[in-house]
Amino acid sequence: MSYFKDIPPIQYEGPDSDNEFAYRHYDPNEVVMGKRMEDHLRLAVAYWHSLAYEGGDPFGGRTFERPWYGDDMAAARVKADAAFDMFGVLNVPFFCFHDADVRPEGDSFAESRRNLEEICDVFADKMQQTGTKLLWGTANMFTHRRWMAGAATNPDPEIFAYAAATVKACMDVTHRLGGENYVLWGGREGYESLLNTDLTREAEQAGAFLTKVVDYKHKIGFKGTILIEPKPQEPSKHQYDFDVGTIYGFLKRFGLENEVKLNIEQGHAILAGHSFEHELALAGSLGLLGSIDMNRNDYQSGWDTDQFPNNVPEVALAYYEVLRAGGFTTGGTNFDARVRRQSLDPEDLVLSHVGAIDICARGLKAAAAMLENGGLEKMRAERYAGWDNEASQAMLKSESLDQIAARVEETNLNPQPRSGRQERLENWVSRFV
Amino acid sequence: MSYFKDIPPIQYEGPDSDNEFAYRHYDPNEVVMGKRMEDHLRLAVAYWHSLAYEGGDPFGGRTFERPWYGDDMAAARVKADAAFDMFGVLNVPFFCFHDADVRPEGDSFAESRRNLEEICDVFADKMQQTGTKLLWGTANMFTHRRWMAGAATNPDPEIFAYAAATVKACMDVTHRLGGENYVLWGGREGYESLLNTDLTREAEQAGAFLTKVVDYKHKIGFKGTILIEPKPQEPSKHQYDFDVGTIYGFLKRFGLENEVKLNIEQGHAILAGHSFEHELALAGSLGLLGSIDMNRNDYQSGWDTDQFPNNVPEVALAYYEVLRAGGFTTGGTNFDARVRRQSLDPEDLVLSHVGAIDICARGLKAAAAMLENGGLEKMRAERYAGWDNEASQAMLKSESLDQIAARVEETNLNPQPRSGRQERLENWVSRFV
Amino acid sequence: MSYFKDIPPIQYEGPDSDNEFAYRHYDPNEVVMGKRMEDHLRLAVAYWHSLAYEGGDPFGGRTFERPWYGDDMAAARVKADAAFDMFGVLNVPFFCFHDADVRPEGDSFAESRRNLEEICDVFADKMQQTGTKLLWGTANMFTHRRWMAGAATNPDPEIFAYAAATVKACMDVTHRLGGENYVLWGGREGYESLLNTDLTREAEQAGAFLTKVVDYKHKIGFKGTILIEPKPQEPSKHQYDFDVGTIYGFLKRFGLENEVKLNIEQGHAILAGHSFEHELALAGSLGLLGSIDMNRNDYQSGWDTDQFPNNVPEVALAYYEVLRAGGFTTGGTNFDARVRRQSLDPEDLVLSHVGAIDICARGLKAAAAMLENGGLEKMRAERYAGWDNEASQAMLKSESLDQIAARVEETNLNPQPRSGRQERLENWVSRFV
Amino acid sequence: MSYFKDIPPIQYEGPDSDNEFAYRHYDPNEVVMGKRMEDHLRLAVAYWHSLAYEGGDPFGGRTFERPWYGDDMAAARVKADAAFDMFGVLNVPFFCFHDADVRPEGDSFAESRRNLEEICDVFADKMQQTGTKLLWGTANMFTHRRWMAGAATNPDPEIFAYAAATVKACMDVTHRLGGENYVLWGGREGYESLLNTDLTREAEQAGAFLTKVVDYKHKIGFKGTILIEPKPQEPSKHQYDFDVGTIYGFLKRFGLENEVKLNIEQGHAILAGHSFEHELALAGSLGLLGSIDMNRNDYQSGWDTDQFPNNVPEVALAYYEVLRAGGFTTGGTNFDARVRRQSLDPEDLVLSHVGAIDICARGLKAAAAMLENGGLEKMRAERYAGWDNEASQAMLKSESLDQIAARVEETNLNPQPRSGRQERLENWVSRFV
């Protein structure tokens, strides 16, 4: 019997509904800027947070009691049943997973791989039956003790080899399940102490590894996007994929900037000292915006809290950047969020997603309205309009410092600042959120 | 009469001296790793903090009373006298300055430039007489209201032009004074609000500007190093030169990674969420380590406190990275630090430097001792030794994911983690600091 | 001619208005929970941010050009004219000021006091004419260099005396102008360095000073509330009025917990590591909630950014705590917020307030709707319902540890956790914001 | 056979020793300020970090492999053997423990209690044989799922009862083992979400609970000190025992300020936005300084990293405050620190303590030297000397605001600021560290 048997399928009932088990704002079929909302948002449930997380934190153990906890294939199948039941209750089109979320660790690499393949057979059937799709697959190379000093960047080449084999296996099943992307998050690709770390070697290892991943993608004909997920720290003291700007430099260094895009998470942006919209806008500007991990971080906590989003103004600015960059292609909105460890009930698991999905719907609609109105883009264009003439472009592109300096003196140039109008723009945005 | 007339020249008296006005650890002539300490540290006083800062903070005005405050050339000359008196009292070999620190703003660009040139004539004489040298010059493109929305990245091309002329003038005098580097710090090259900002345009402007700077350097035959100084924010909400990793990407994007190096500051590293030694080690690893701005940031304050360093263990780790990278060539140790606004007296100005110089001397000596001992490098090499054979290198450089994966399964590879020995390394370091 | 001559009076036009110079949500006469919105919010403009701030920041000087800048009484009168013009344009019922915002510093204490009294005569006339009222007065004891080491907590008793005289003068004019509160914010009551600080003495000085303030209030028959404003740091490294919890302890120590309440600011709450609603709820719980300084802090900046609020969900939670505590009595909503230094124009000054006032109106209405609905309070009551019986209360009030322990063993007590339902509550809140 | 069989007893060998397994600075018998170093520092090993921690972090599981892992009494006895072996190897006089560290959870409260008592019989024998003493005992009321919403502050009175029984049992064994203190740390006494929390009720519960603890102490004749340990957050979003200032207010509210003292931890101070020395100095000033948890927090990580201390200048300032407050009476130095999860080997466990103990020894000796020299205290006294006369004291104690104000005007008082000499004091401190 389904773990969610007492919970009705969540359907759109409109903003005035008083039903806790309904969408008020998310109507998959509502057309926004010429596209169904479902096709804009491309929502995905994260297997790890919703199925594999047990309610632990650094100071306490498991609080949840789910019938699928266990470390054998039978438990993995019960978990898969619950997962697809939940996807159905929520009516979301996608899910995402790590290998370690879905299958028990085997006694050998080969057994772990076979376990993964076996459970992916189960997924394939269920996906066929339900229409649920895979947004992305990935490998968990941070939980097991073997990864404690990194995967690709490990001082031990045997671990590098094990990591390569692991990613290959995960790419294979992602490809087989029609995954639209493959994600790499390097939670242990960094260091605990600079004292025992060789930054030069580790960067070369990381570059070589990513190159192999890209090569393998082409070899097997995987059409999805390879995505890197930035995070500055936690679990490591310092992680190499610190933020969008850092990863851009890494990709340029290894000539991979046209092969790889980014999966950007709000919580990670905040830990790196950026707003979510900054990271999205920068990725958009660099042509690297791939997909998003939607969550929120507690602003008073210095670690990754992975909470469900609940702030429409913030979410609207995020989707504004997504839409400005052209919207998602292979990417989507993965809820990298988990219920708090006191939220014990199946209702909590479902309703946390329901609330978050409505927040995303509101955010998307506000973002679309802002973009369709065009006020912000117009103002921005006006602010830089002085550059839109031949003289300015000539200065930018071909004049030398001394040529410009000579002109400054000749014309006795004395430029006057103009208002940046920040608050007026903020007021404008507030009309839409 | 000198502002410092009551203060004796500071001389080395050894660690047991009880004299507040003496160096206990900084003996310029002491040989460390085959080089005089003065030639290692290449200490510089910052004109802005020591001469131009008036004791203000965001909640309060001027507290200091210096005879050289004023905004005409006469005051600028009094200031220059005091500056060189202070350099003499401290016996430091270098100083650094912005244009705005040393000359009054004129009514026109040309007048400002002439003021700068005139005061640089004064400097040239004094440098000749005293032997004091210029570590680097730079342009202040953040204080005047014209820069409020950026210099090179301003939405207004006239400001870009004014910035170009300003940098040209500053490079000219730096070149004339034999400056060993030219620094760019982009305090306003960033944004206050993403809403009114076009990241794509501004990045292109920044790239074009820096290219012009490099071209001009070659044109005038300036042999010094062009340095960019990373800082993540403050005054701007977000600054483009966020940290070492970000700047590396920027340089790669515009093909300038072999033309420009970095001036790295402890306080800026901390604001970006990094340790000082991380930023230095990363820059070293990327071949970008140029010079350092030595100070400390209060760990409980979220802004740039620019305090004099006082923590030997931290300073030792910083110089360890400098020495590992080969030591300074054109770069040096600039005290980007200011006395607290309650430190009103001339003694405070001098003794703050004295204490900091001794801290640097202790840090350098500890760093040299660690490097000469070699324990840390040996351990690091051992940790990665598994990579130092043909098979590992072949895997890294030429094997594909599926080749590696096949081998993992064939050999039933099951790598075991080994201790990272962090605390033992920390204990080892503690022996030297 | 008014500085705001080109700006029409701001009037309520409803949410669909396209007019930038209109309120969309703030209708002073709209009745919310039985009270006019104006009487709920009790909005006040801050003289310092709107009239006295010149656009400087730690890295740059004045950017604004206002006709009233100057340091004589004539300029102060022009400033007063502009202030009341602006209050009129905005139609806000209150303003707030420090002595230093409104009058030039005199050559002696007596002259400064007379300047203050003279400008307050001007205020009295204008208040009579316009109906604008004074929410609170306060003394600026942080800008002038004499305060650099504190006012009441200064190591120098002469400064303590000067502070006492200053507060007396400010209380006198506040009383005369019918101010509804008198505020103390101790920006320099703290330390820059623990090394030169005697915490014990300084606490005693602070306690004695506040006791004198309370005594003087009673002596002159001032009926307003004495308010302390918490802030953890900035400008000082550490400020004694760190947060609500700390001030509660201070008031208890000196027996003043029934004489003094708090003025709580969002930006200060955040710098102290708290959410705004936490500080408000705690103050409410302790009976200390007096008034609020409404602004927002940039979550990526580690200093006090004093921006106008723009996030309705956050503001709604703040007013929810205000309403739960019974709403304002003498307190109100002071905009302790300033336009960004790039916002040069008179329109920026006015429209920043307009946007913020609308945000407050939306927040208040959402808060009232939540409170009237009662869902949150009902759930909270249910969660603690186990305590609402005699046995639980007896245990709480009179049983000893060993009595309780005996019962635990006798009954083999094994309590089971219940869901905290956080996400469901967040969803519930989202319906209202 | 002992887990530490390959590790020799650590003995003092002096600063020039090259032996990794030796104390260089910690000589228990060295006399510092008239007292043996062992009696000053009163060092304690934390059972939880050194014996119970398994190497997990939020993103990864157990990395260590200790023979005593398990959840039955047999494993608990093996663990106890290893613990006392380790205490012997280190030659530390004290240890500390939570109930959950030392005994398996039983099927009922009574069984858990009996398990605890049984293992404490083992401890009693070992303490007798080895001379190791108990610095403090405490109850773990945060790991088990029953505590997820708090212990004393739980919405469910049954959990309150279970907490009361738990603390009674732990106080009983602490008393029986001659523990010198009993500690309460409220990791779950706070909230995850203000929305489901009743601050008023929870504060009353906390006050009633602590009152019962104090009453029970007197009832059983426990002569040790009851200690509360401040921490601002983690695991909870907000913890009620935020910092020293907050707890002072709490104790005053419930009239317990003479019954309870504080156990202060560096990492917790930092998370609360304070320096360690601030919290110690404040506790000293309020008469609340009881004991310390010595560790360090990574300054770039926003969570509690519980690392072994390695920075002598910081540790010296901490012990300076301890010595100024009279030194420890019942309190001591507990290493609330754990090896990093990559530090797998028994050597890591021992040597991490060895390094930290030497850092403490250096810190203590530097602190004693500074106190014996007296320079800092002398300067501080001079800075406040203006208060040491009758007129100043009369003003402080008996003059009213208007009396003081009248005098300010009569004497035309115009106080001048004096230098705070912060850098000179920092230089002075640097001579000793």
In a domain, D384, yes or no: no
Length of chain C: 433
B157 pLDDT above the threshold of 80: yes
Cα separation, A296 vs B398, whole angstroms? 41
Query: Average pLDDT, stretch C146-166?
Result: 98
**Which residues of B are known to be catalytic?**
98, 101
In a domain, D129, yes or no: yes
A193 and A237 Cβ atoms separated by less than 8 Å: yes
B1 pLDDT above the threshold of 90: no
Do C304 and C426 belong together in one domain? no
Distances (CA, A) of C195 to C202, C241, C242, D137, D363: 14, 20, 19, 34, 16
Confirm whether residue D268 is marked as ligand binding.
Answer: yes
CB neighbours of residue B252 within 10 Å: 18
The partner residues of C3 in beta bridges, in order of sequence, read none
pLDDT bin (cut points 50, 70, 90) of residue D1 is confident
Cα separation, B96 vs B51, whole angstroms? 11
Domain of residue A196, CATH code: 3.20.20.150
Closest CB to A340 among D144, D187, D192: D192
In a domain, B156, yes or no: yes
B35-36/B31-32 β-pairing: antiparallel
Cα separation, D146 vs D143, whole angstroms? 8
Identify the domain boundary among D328, D347, D373.
Answer: D373
Cα separation, B163 vs D37, whole angstroms? 62
Residue A432 pLDDT? 97
Residue D243 pLDDT? 98
Side-chain half-sphere CA neighbours of D421 within 13 A: 17
| Contacts of D among chains (3+ CB pairs under 8 A) | A, B, C
Contacts of B379 in chain A (CB under 8 A): 196
B363 pLDDT above the threshold of 80: yes
- What is the share, in percent, of chain C residues with pLDDT greater than 70? 100
Measured in angstroms, the CA of D256 and the nearest CA of chain B are apart by 30
Confirm whether residue B279 is marked as ligand binding.
Answer: no
Domain containing residue B408: 390-430
Do A413 and A309 belong together in one domain? no
Which alpha helices (H) appear in B177-198, and where do they start and end?
Answer: none
The partner residues of D292 in beta bridges, in order of sequence, read D264, D333
Measured in angstroms, the CA of C429 and the nearest CA of chain B are apart by 28
Contacts of A213 in chain B (CB under 8 A): 401
Cα separation, A17 vs C430, whole angstroms? 13
- Is D18 part of the annotated catalytic residue set? no
Query: Average pLDDT, stretch D15-25?
Result: 97
What tokens appear for D80 in the block?
């106890």
Q: Does A384 sit within 8 Å of B168, measured CB to CB?
A: no
pLDDT digits (tens, 9 = 90+) for B269-295: 999 999 999 999 999 999 999 999 999
Query: Can you tell me the ipTM of this complex?
Result: 0.97
Cα separation, A191 vs A236, whole angstroms? 6
Length of chain A: 433
How many residue contacts between B and C have a Cβ separation below 8 Å?
A: 93
Cα separation, B141 vs B151, whole angstroms? 6
Q: Does A270 sit within 8 Å of C299, measured CB to CB?
A: yes
Identify the domain boundary among A347, A373, A399.
Answer: A373
> Hunting for tokens 């000198």 — which residue is that?
B2
The partner residues of D43 in beta bridges, in order of sequence, read D333
Identify the domain boundary among D325, D341, D373.
Answer: D373
**φ and ψ of C262, to 5 deg:** -120, 145
pTM, entire model: 0.98
Do C91 and C186 belong together in one domain? yes
Helix (H) or strand (E) holding B295: none
Q: Does B358 sit within 8 Å of D422, measured CB to CB?
A: no
A199 pLDDT above the threshold of 90: yes
Do C407 and C326 belong together in one domain? no
**Surface-to-core class of residue C26, CB atoms within 10 Å of its CB (0-12 exposed, 13-18 middle, 19+ buried):** buried
Residue A1 pLDDT? 76
In a domain, A384, yes or no: no
**φ and ψ of D57, to 5 deg:** -145, 180
Cα separation, D289 vs D264, whole angstroms? 8
B346 and D429 Cβ atoms separated by less than 8 Å: no
Do A270 and A221 belong together in one domain? yes
Cα separation, B182 vs B170, whole angstroms? 9
**Using CA of residue A12, residue A16, residue A18, residue A24, what is the dihedral sign?**
positive
Full 3-state SS string of chain A: CCCCCCCCCCEECCCCCCCCCEECCCCCCCEECCEEHHHHHCEEEEHHHHHHCCCCECCECCCCCCCCCCCCHHHHHHHHHHHHHHHHHHCCCEEEEEHHHHCCCCCCHHHHHHHHHHHHHHHHHHHHHHCCEEEEEECCCCCCHHHCCCCCCCCCHHHHHHHHHHHHHHHHHHHHCCCCEEEECCCCCEECCHHHCCHHHHHHHHHHHHHHHHHHHHHHCCCCEEEECCCCCCCCCEECCCCHHHHHHHHHHCCCCCCEEEEEEHHHHHHCCCCHHHHHHHHHHCCCEEEEEECECCCCCECCCCECCCCHHHHHHHHHHHHHCCCCCCCCEEECCCCCCCCCCHHHHHHHHHHHHHHHHHHHHHHHHHHHHCHHHHHHHHHCHHHCCHHHHHHHHHCCHHHHHHHHHHCCCCCCCCCCCHHHHHHHHHCCC
Do A404 and A270 belong together in one domain? no
Residue A16 pLDDT? 95
**φ and ψ of B404, to 5 deg:** -65, -45
**φ and ψ of D357, to 5 deg:** -65, -40
Do C185 and C268 belong together in one domain? yes
Cα separation, C3 vs C82, whole angstroms? 6
Q: Work out the mean pLDDT of chain C and round it to a whole number.
A: 98
In a domain, A44, yes or no: yes
Residue C422 pLDDT? 98
In a domain, A14, yes or no: no
Do B304 and B413 belong together in one domain? no
Q: Measure CA of the first residue to CA of the last residue in chain D; give whole Å.
A: 41
Do A399 and A294 belong together in one domain? no
In a domain, B1, yes or no: no
Query: Average pLDDT, stretch D115-129?
Result: 98
Tally of structural domains, chain B: 2
**Surface-to-core class of residue D422, CB atoms within 10 Å of its CB (0-12 exposed, 13-18 middle, 19+ buried):** buried
| Contacts of A among chains (3+ CB pairs under 8 A) | B, C, D
Give the residue from chain D lying closest to A341, CA to CA: D148
- Chain centroid to Cα A202, Å, comes to 24
> Hunting for tokens 């208007």 — which residue is that?
D402
Cα separation, B293 vs C195, whole angstroms? 25
What tokens appear for B203 in the block?
């990045």
Residues of B with CB under 8 A from a CB of C: 55, 57-63, 142-145, 147-149, 187-188, 192-193, 233-235, 237-238, 271, 298, 300-304, 340-342
Cα separation, D331 vs B112, whole angstroms? 65
Which alpha helices (H) appear in C22-72, and where do they start and end?
Answer: 37-41, 47
A344 and A20 Cβ atoms separated by less than 8 Å: no
Q: Does B235 sit within 8 Å of C58, measured CB to CB?
A: yes
Cα separation, C297 vs C276, whole angstroms? 10
Query: Average pLDDT, stretch C226-241?
Result: 98
Q: Work out the mean pLDDT of chain D and round it to a whole number.
A: 98
A404 and B220 Cβ atoms separated by less than 8 Å: no
Confirm whether residue B293 is marked as ligand binding.
Answer: yes
C1 pLDDT above the threshold of 90: no
In a domain, A190, yes or no: yes
What's the CA angle centered on A235, arms A230 and A239, to 5 degrees? 40
What tokens appear for B323 in the block?
């020495």
B224 and B180 Cβ atoms separated by less than 8 Å: yes
Q: Does C204 sit within 8 Å of D274, measured CB to CB?
A: no
Query: Average pLDDT, stretch C153-161?
Result: 98
Side-chain half-sphere CA neighbours of B46 within 13 A: 22
* C31: amino acid identity, one letter: V
Do C197 and C167 belong together in one domain? yes
DSSP string covering C98-151: EHHHHS---SSHHHHHHHHHHHHHHHHHHHHHH--EEEEEE---SSSGGGTT-S
Q: Work out the mean pLDDT of chain A and round it to a whole number.
A: 98
Cα separation, B174 vs B84, whole angstroms? 17
pLDDT digits (tens, 9 = 90+) for D175-191: 999 999 999 999 999 99
Do C288 and C162 belong together in one domain? yes
What tokens appear for C237 in the block?
């490294």
Length of chain B: 433
Do C273 and C412 belong together in one domain? no
pLDDT digits (tens, 9 = 90+) for D132-185: 999 999 999 999 999 999 999 999 999 999 999 999 999 999 999 999 999 999
**φ and ψ of A370, to 5 deg:** -65, -40
Query: Average pLDDT, stretch A37-55?
Result: 98
D209 pLDDT above the threshold of 90: yes
Closest CB to C421 among A310, A343, A433: A343
Residue C242 pLDDT? 98
